[in-house]
């Protein structure tokens, strides 16, 4: 513990973001950095709590409590406070392959379960993690390893999102020859096309890590869609093991009248098209563009926020976001105690930007869509909404019930469905003969990651369902460990 009274002396402080009206004019990352003195003060707030829930990584009430990667948060906070940055980074890299990703896009369940957070603002763990990673890159401390003894075993990882990258990095470190197959034209999966550039820079952050992995020996093959232009059964012959990290990319749709009208799109279609255009240096030529349009985003969460931020940057005419759930309270409710994830109201970066441009938070709560309105010639023109009330049914489950007389019509010529995902696409699983569970995910036990097919492992969202980036990295590491054990009879991977 660096400073016994640090949590009393220093208030929680976060980096100042770029001003909303400034940052909506470009696609650059919106975070500024904090200077070293202020970061050390923030690390000093870590309070030697005795039982650090920040790195427990368990599920409480169905949500992550503490870091699923089991980051040794108090240890590297202490080292940062003492100015031992390289030692702190080494401690962080023991559990997290990609702190430059998680320090930017993870919602920080570690902070939600910080013991200081019981009655004070929690330690700024995510801020310190991002600073550690960036310092490591700036100082050259994060560098390719060249001292790995090769085993002669060959492993193919299908999917290059956070789970696939973590599995590939760990298996490569164990000495296996690793090939990563990505069906899109750039590696990175969700990190490349599912998260906008202003939240996670692709060239400066994502591709930098992938290029390092390539220098360490990992081979990336893009435009390789297993089941279409790559035969799954040939992979079983050519490789000693397969690790499935395909994600949960089957979207949840909205079954209301006129869903097929032109102008109604799934959120990931929109975000992928927008990010692809940005990376091609032609952001104004995205195949789905919000310029001059009345945009309605249906659904909340990070994906909905990213749609709001993207549409704002593209110059939409108006912007609404519909959420079926009630507005969260400003502070923890009695039925949401620590160390559960705090379900409290916050203005995320996208809503903050929309409020700066349009004058108010764009979200409308306890609101859902009854139908889309328009015609084949003009596409969608508006949608009919209705307010709902949450009531318990005869079995005690909460159900949405329409509020009589609450129907309204709002203009919309671009509608984005950010309703989450149902599970992995099934064609590859069918071709490999891999069994699935009742939710259509790959059937593979946690901690073993073995599927019904010997030598085939599964990790990340394709195994557990849609989840956090930290769970994906955790599972990629775990699947690599068990794959290494399968190949070698034992493993030294964590």
For the chain, report the end-to-end CA distance as a whole number of angstroms.
25
Reading phi first (left if > 0) and then psi (alpha if -120 to 50, else beta), residue 50 is in left
Distance separating alpha carbons of residues 284 and 26, to the nearest angstrom: 12
Which among 250, 245, 158, 233 has a CA at the least distance from the CA of 442? 245
Judged by phi (left if over 0) then psi (alpha if -120 to 50, else beta), residue 48 lies in left
In sequence order, which residues have a C-beta less than 8 Å from that of residue 317 and are 6 or more positions away? 292, 293, 294, 295
250: buried, middle or exposed (CB in 10 Å: 19+, 13-18, 0-12)? middle
pLDDT in tens, 404-420: 999 999 999 999 999 99
Q: Are 121 and 142 in contact (CB under 8 A)?
A: no
Would you list the domain boundaries of the chain? 6-139, 154-249+422-488, 253-419
* pTM for the full predicted model: 0.96
Residue 197: other Cβ atoms inside 10 A: 23
Per-residue pLDDT at 395: 86
Cβ atoms of 111 and 54 within 8 Å: the answer is yes
Which pLDDT score, from 0 to 100, does residue 153 have? 98
Note the pLDDT of residue 143: 96
Eight-state DSSP code of residue 436: B
Give the chain's count of helices (H) and strands (E).
17, 18
Q: What is the distance between the alpha carbons of residues 181 and 178, in angstroms, rounded to a whole number?
A: 10
| Topology annotation, domain 154-249+422-488 | FAD/NAD(P)-binding domain (3.50.50)
Q: Cβ distance 386 to 407 under 8 Å?
A: yes
Nearest residue to 76 via CA among 110, 35, 105: 110
DSSP 439: T
Tokens representing 1 are: 């513990």
One digit per residue, the tens of pLDDT, for the chain of length 494 reads 678 899 999 999 999 999 999 999 999 999 989 999 999 999 999 988 888 999 999 999 888 899 999 999 999 999 999 999 999 999 999 999 999 999 999 999 999 999 999 999 999 999 999 999 999 999 999 999 888 999 999 999 999 999 999 999 999 999 999 999 999 999 999 999 999 999 999 999 999 999 999 999 999 999 999 989 999 999 999 999 999 999 999 999 999 999 999 999 999 999 999 999 999 999 999 999 999 999 999 998 999 999 999 999 999 999 999 999 999 999 999 999 999 999 999 999 999 999 999 999 999 999 999 999 999 999 999 999 999 999 998 888 999 999 999 999 999 999 999 999 999 999 999 999 999 999 999 999 999 999 999 999 999 999 999 999 999 999 999 999 999 999 999 999 99
- Burial track 475-487 (b if 16+ CB lie within 10 A, e otherwise): bbbbbbbbbbbbb
Euclidean distance between CA atoms 124 and 7, whole angstroms:
11
Q: Are 297 and 418 in contact (CB under 8 A)?
A: yes
CATH code: domain 6-139 is: 1.10.1060.10
φ/ψ of residue 426, rounded to 5: -90, -20
Torsion angle, CA of 141/143/149/155, rounded to 10 degrees? Answer: 130
Token pair in block for residue 115? 């013991």
| Domain 253-419 top-level CATH class | alpha beta
Q: Which residues contact 156 (CB under 8 A, 6 or more apart)?
A: 178, 179, 180, 181, 235, 238, 239, 241, 242, 243
Sequential DSSP letters for 138-177: HHT-S-----PPP-S-EEEEE--SHHHHHHHHHHHHTT-E
Q: Do domains 154-249+422-488 and 253-419 have the same CATH topology?
A: yes
Residue 270, H or E segment: helix 267-279
Quote the crossing angle between the two packed helices 162-173 and 469-488, to the nearest 10°: 30
Question: 227 φ, ψ to 5°?
Answer: 105, -15
């Amino acid at each position: 513990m660096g400073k016994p009274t640090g949590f009393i002396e220093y208030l929680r402080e976060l980096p100042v973001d770029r001003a909303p009206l400034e940052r909506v004019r470009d696609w650059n990352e919106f975070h500024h950095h904090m200077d070293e003195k202020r970061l050390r003060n923030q690390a000093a707030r870590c309070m030697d709590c005795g039982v650090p829930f920040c790195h427990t990584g368990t599920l409480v009430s169905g949500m992550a409590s503490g870091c699923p990667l089991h980051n040794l948060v108090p240890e590297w906070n202490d080292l940062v406070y003492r100015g031992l940055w390289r030692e702190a980074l080494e401690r962080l890299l023991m559990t997290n392959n990609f702190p430059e990703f998680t320090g930017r896009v993870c919602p920080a369940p570690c902070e939600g379960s910080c013991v200081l957070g019981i009655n004070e603002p929690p330690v700024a763990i995510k801020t310190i993690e991002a600073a550690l990673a960036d310092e490591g890159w700036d100082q050259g401390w994060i560098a390719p390893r060249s001292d790995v003894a090769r085993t002669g075993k060959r492993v193919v990882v299908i999917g290059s999102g956070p789970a696939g990258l973590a599995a590939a990095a760990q298996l490569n470190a164990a000495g296996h020859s690793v090939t990563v197959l990505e069906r899109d034209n750039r590696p990175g999966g969700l990190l490349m096309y599912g998260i906008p550039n202003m939240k996670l820079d692709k060239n400066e952050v994502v591709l930098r890590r992938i290029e390092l992995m390539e220098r360490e020996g990992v081979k990336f093959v893009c435009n390789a869609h297993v089941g279409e232009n790559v035969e799954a059964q040939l992979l079983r012959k050519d490789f000693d093991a397969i690790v499935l990290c395909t994600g949960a990319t089957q979207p949840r749709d909205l079954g209301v009248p006129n869903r097929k009208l032109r102008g109604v799109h799934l959120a990931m279609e929109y975000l992928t098209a927008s990010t692809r255009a940005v990376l091609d240096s032609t952001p104004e030529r995205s195949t789905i563009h919000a310029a001059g349009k009345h945009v309605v985003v249906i659904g909340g969460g990070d994906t909905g926020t990213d749609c709001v931020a993207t549409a704002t940057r593209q110059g939409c005419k108006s912007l609404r976001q519909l959420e079926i759930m009630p507005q969260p309270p400003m502070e923890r409710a009695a039925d949401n105690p620590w160390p559960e994830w705090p379900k409290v109201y916050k203005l995320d970066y996208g809503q903050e930007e929309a409020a700066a441009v349009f004058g108010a938070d764009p979200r409308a709560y306890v609101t859902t869509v009854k139908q889309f309105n328009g015609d084949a010639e003009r596409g969608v023109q508006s949608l009919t909404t209705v307010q709902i009330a949450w009531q318990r049914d005869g079995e005690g489950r909460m159900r949405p019930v329409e509020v009589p007389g609450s129907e309204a019509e709002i203009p919309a010529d671009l509608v984005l469905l950010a309703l989450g995902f149902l599970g992995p696409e099934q064609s590859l699983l069918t071709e490999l003969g891999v069994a699935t569970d009742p939710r259509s995910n790959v059937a593979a036990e946690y901690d073993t990651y073995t599927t019904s097919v010997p030598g085939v492992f599964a990790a990340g969202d394709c195994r557990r369902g849609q989840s956090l980036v930290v769970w994906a990295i955790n599972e990629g590491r775990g699947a690599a460990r068990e794959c290494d054990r399968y190949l070698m009879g034992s493993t030294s991977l964590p």
